[in-house]
Amino acid sequence: MGSLAGDGLPPDDVVVSALRAGDEEMFATLLDTWARGMLRVARSYVSTDDSAEEVVQDTWLAVIGAIDGFEGRSSVKTWVYRILVNTAKRRSVRESRTLPWSAFERDTSPAADPTLFHGIDGALAGRWKEAPAAWPTPEGQALAAEARGLIGEALATLPPRQRIVITLRDVEGCTSEEVCEIMEISAVNQRVLLHRARAAVRDLLESYFASVKQPE
């Protein structure tokens, strides 16, 4: 989870001066450091890998054209991702893939299945009906490659906004402030989307561990 320790890039003023001075090494570093996050966010909006690659390419072309005018009102990363999101949205309109975001989401329901808990009446109100099953994996231990693959697939099937938020926060290590700025959403909304996405992946891991459990 090295991503949470930051992406190892120099401070923004150094990055911006280097880009303005035509420092190819710095540009290449940004391309490579943000490639995964940018491709994954782009894929949440458009229908094919090729389109997602073009969205990322068009984003960088726009960045190249605009770097001299960058005013530093946001971080470079947030600025680049804002351009990416806008480029991807325009592209998805062209692909007619756009639905009102609300149509994708179930923002008001709880992330966990309410039938897991006792109803509000009685002594056990709100308590677990059945204890969550134990997982064979301690927190610090890496999951099997198979489980990692499953998580990748699960992320790809999440509703788009949940997918973007969990990708930026938990895969790419962005802060909640950065995600709010990139997606132009409130802190509360960001947290709801992230929680739902994590709960969906947790449920998937629960089923996975139940299916691979060795008889004792």
32-69 CB burial, b ≥16 within 10 A, e <16 = eebeebbbbbbbbbbeeeebbbbbbebbbeebeeebee
Question: Please, are residues 85 and 183 in contact by the beta-carbon 8 Å criterion?
Answer: yes
User: Which of 11, 32, 103, 121 touches another protein (CB under 8 A)?
Assistant: 32
User: Which of 82, 89, 90, 198 touches another protein (CB under 8 A)?
Assistant: 198
Identity of residue 187:
A
Q: Which of 208, 215, 216 is nearest to 135 (CA)?
A: 208
What is the residue whose two structure tokens read 């790809």? Answer: 156
35 contributes a contact to another protein by CB under 8 A: yes
Question: Please, are residues 170 and 200 in contact by the beta-carbon 8 Å criterion?
Answer: no
127 contributes a contact to another protein by CB under 8 A: yes
Give me the phi and psi of 117, to 5 degrees please.
Answer: -120, 155
65 contributes a contact to another protein by CB under 8 A: yes
Q: Which of residues 135-164 bind another protein (CB under 8 A)?
A: 135, 137, 139, 142-143, 147-148, 151-152, 155
84 contributes a contact to another protein by CB under 8 A: no
User: Shortest Cβ distance from residue 144 to another protein (Å)?
Assistant: 10
15 contributes a contact to another protein by CB under 8 A: no
> Total residues contacting another protein (rule CB under 8 A)?
57
Helix 12-20 crosses helix 24-33 at what angle (to 10 degrees)? Answer: 130
Interacting residues toward another protein by CB under 8 A: 1, 3-4, 22, 24, 27-28, 31-32, 35-36, 39-40, 53, 56-57, 60-61, 64-65, 110-112, 114, 116-117, 125-128, 131-132, 134-135, 137, 139, 142-143, 147-148, 151-152, 155, 166, 170-171, 173, 176, 187, 191, 194-195, 198, 201-202, 205-206
